Structure 1
Amino acid sequence: MMKEPHSDLCSSYIKIFVVVSCYWIVSITTVFVNKALLSSDSVALEAPLSITWFQCIVSFTICFTLSQTNGIPGIFKFPKGTPWNIDIVRKVIPLSIMFTLMIATNNLCLKYVGVPFYYVGRSLTTVFNVFLSWLLLRQTTSLKCIMCCGFIIFGFYLGVDQESLLGSFSLLGTIYGVIGSLMLSLYSIYTKKVLPSVNQEVWLLSFYNNAYSIILFLPLILMNGELNVLWNYRNFDSTYFWFQMIIGGLCGFAIGFFTSLQIKVTSPLTHNISGTAKACAQTVLATQWYNESKNILWWTSNVIVLASSALYARFKQVEMEENSKKPQPEEEKSLV
């Protein structure tokens, strides 16, 4: 019997809801765990890139184990593939470079700024999406969407200004946040292009990204001067230290998987908007968790960024619906 369209639509919505919910839970948990790893006195390891590198090792180990066992019997089958195929390396390595820089700058930003400001510090992803679409693809953007980007930039500036007045502003952390926003934008756009090269398999993409990142992180660790820090660190024999590191690695694996999965079942734009909305909830939780008091203008900056991002998403959705109704020339249809 043929399934009813309504039933298929409900199934799609349920799937998207579950994926987005998992992304929110894992992402928020990962931020708090990483903040503890990067800044807490219990760890006290001033080597943020080495911590991120270890998380990639944990993720790679999980993927490698699953690839050898063909997944978990009775639950799911891990797709076959190897990251050491020269053709795969050539196709995926550009995305892996973006992935490496994205998670590196995200953790560096998180090290130097507080969790409440982490959202605003990385709120320029939508702006970069518009700019890169024009720069790389020569795609124009409507005036309404450009105005939304202007408000996002204003909200970002206001947040930076208020963070400075409150005495908790970090210029270095903010710079890393801006770079992280740029890398996230590039990664989201390029993921859609690379997924067909791995047969639309998110597991394989996560496997390959982490495999290549283990190598790509080594020169970054050297340039950041972390070898001397690791050599002089005295808590490598601590069970609690390794417990925290492994938990952080598991979270790193989960966020990488659910980020790619959310992009796959939605779109790069929806992923960015979901990340913005998630970060708003994360900000509220963080202020309560760390007992931080913020003024009205600080909260206003968060509201401006969130509302502008939501309006941008709505305007883009309407534009795409209108464009889909326009008749296409035969030559464009053949290209599609």
Structure 2
Amino acid sequence: MKDQRSDLCSRYITIFIVVSCYWIVSIATVFVNKTLLSSQEVALEAPLFITWFQCIVSFSICYTLSRFGGIPGVFAFPKGSPWSMDVMRRVIPLSIMFTLMIATNNLCLKYVGVPFYYVGRSLTTVFNVVFSWVLLGQRTSSKCMLCCGFIIFGFYLGVDQESLLGSFSLIGTVYGVIGSLMLSLYSIYTKKVLPSVNQEVWLLSYYNNAYSIILFLPLIVVNGELPVLWNYTNFDSSYFWFQMFIGGICGFAIGYFTSLQIKVTSPLTHNISGTAKACAQTVIATQWYNETKNVLWWTSNLIVLSSSCLYARFKQQEMEQNSRKPVPEEKQSLVSADELQSPRDTDASKDLENIHIHRK
């Protein structure tokens, strides 16, 4: 009994540390990227080039760790090569989602303020429901559907209030919606691809960044950034490259902690954690940039957050009910298909759902 309690406590601590690191790194990454994408000091109108450079930094870190086997006495980096044909076949579909996800995230951040960035990307839960039905044939309860309806209403209210305040960007909002869609797909398929890399998030981060370096090149051309790069005059600035390098470090860290959080919890928990984190990020951003928002604007944030939390609670209850039902052996792998989790991840994900609900 003591061993069980000790094991449960250890899992709680691990999950708490991973989620906390994800929050810290993610919030820092948003602010650093906003500076890179919009500050007068950098003034480089090439968001995809900036994101591509971050992938290069992340890949370089992973490559170095791979060559030396990790950091002696700290951790061992798993062996693996992104240039194996078998690995490429399994991982590249996920890397395409990863590339589009970080590209649209940064494009959204370029055109909208950090406070609105939260609302602009709040539809991930809604897309989860849609893809669970379209891809997996999983039906969603009426209570969860009602929560999704409120999330959509909160999103609409936030867009409406942002427009009234004169800071609305249609293209930024569109990129935010696409970013939510890609995040939902990425979260779902990460759980499917991790077994192909022996559940090693280091390897997955390594491979994703390796393939993204190539995948970003045509996107940079299509986005019309080559003339901008040709005419840019600050490439000899040490401050510019310092900012770019810090952005790359943050990009590496957020990629790792995103995959790690999905691994120790579930795609649903990851999305809810991201929603709650974004709420804290919004409060910090309004203070940092000295922005004043009206009551309805804040109401939209509250609606999205509370609806997402209720969705998580209802989903948790459904999972508990399903776990008590006898399931034929040939269908057991579909019990948690909405989350696409392995059996050993189920208890940890339920634990974190409870943590999130009580913390909120």
TM-score norm. by structure 1 comes to 0.98
Structure 2 counterpart of 1:281? 280
Residues 1-336 of structure 1: matches in 2 within 5 Å?
4-333=3-332
Q: Distance in 2 between matches of 1:333 and 1:188?
A: 21
Equivalent AA in structure 2 for residue 259 of structure 1: T
Shift of 1:332: 3.0
How far apart in 2 are the matches of 1:232 and 1:21? 41
- 1:68 & 1:106 partners in 2: Cα distance? 31
Deviation track 1:166-219 (CA, whole Å, cap 9, x = no partner) reads 000000000000000000000000000000000000000000000000000000
* Inter-CA distance 330–55: structure 2 relative to 1 (3 Å threshold): closer
CA distance in 1, matches of 2:5, 2:88: 41
Deviation, structure 1 residue 330: 4.3
In 1, distance between residues paired with 2:208 and 2:174?
Answer: 24
Taking the aligned partners of 2:298 and 2:334, their CA distance within structure 1 comes to 47
CA distance in 1, matches of 2:83, 2:255: 20
- Alpha-carbon distance, 1:323 to partner: 0.4
SS in structure 1 of the partner of residue 315 of structure 2: helix
Percent of paired sites with the same residue: 84
Give distance in 2, aligned partners of 1:182 and 1:333: 28
- Report how far residue 331 of structure 1 moved: 3.8
Q: How far apart, CA to CA, are the structure 2 residues paired with 1:27 and 1:335?
A: 32
Name the Cα RMSD after superposition.
1.1
Distance change in 2, residues 1:326/1:297 (3 Å): same
Report the 3-state secondary structure (helix = DSSP H, G, I; strand = E; otherwise coil) of the residue aligned with 1:4. Answer: helix
Q: Deviations over 1:237-295 (max 9, x none)?
A: 10100000000000000000000000000000000000000000000000000000000
Tell me the CA shift for residue 22 of structure 1: 0.1
Q: Across the two proteins, how many residue pairs are aligned to each other?
A: 335
Q: Secondary structure, in 3 states, of the residue corresponding to 2:140? A: coil
- Structure 1, gaps ≥5 residues long: none
Counterpart residue number, 2:342: none
Deviations 1:78-129 (A, max 9, x none): 0000000000000000000000000000000000000000000000000000
* Per-residue CA distance 1:129-157 (angstroms, 9 max, x = gap): 00011111111000000000000000000
Report how far residue 4 of structure 1 moved: 1.1
* Cα distance, 1:329 vs structure 2: 2.6
Deviation at 1:334, TM superposition (A): 8.8
Aligned equivalents of 1:333, 1:132: Cα separation in 2: 20
Q: Call closer, same or farther: CA 1:222–1:11 in 2, change over 3 Å.
A: same
| Counterpart-to-counterpart distance in 2, 1:283 and 1:45 | 25
After TM superposition, give the deviation of residue 333 of structure 1 in Å. 4.7
* Equivalent position SS for 1:225: coil
Q: Deviations over 1:217-247 (max 9, x none)?
A: 0000000111110010000010100000000
The residue identity in structure 1 corresponding to 2:135 is L
User: TM-score scaled to structure 2, two decimals?
Assistant: 0.92
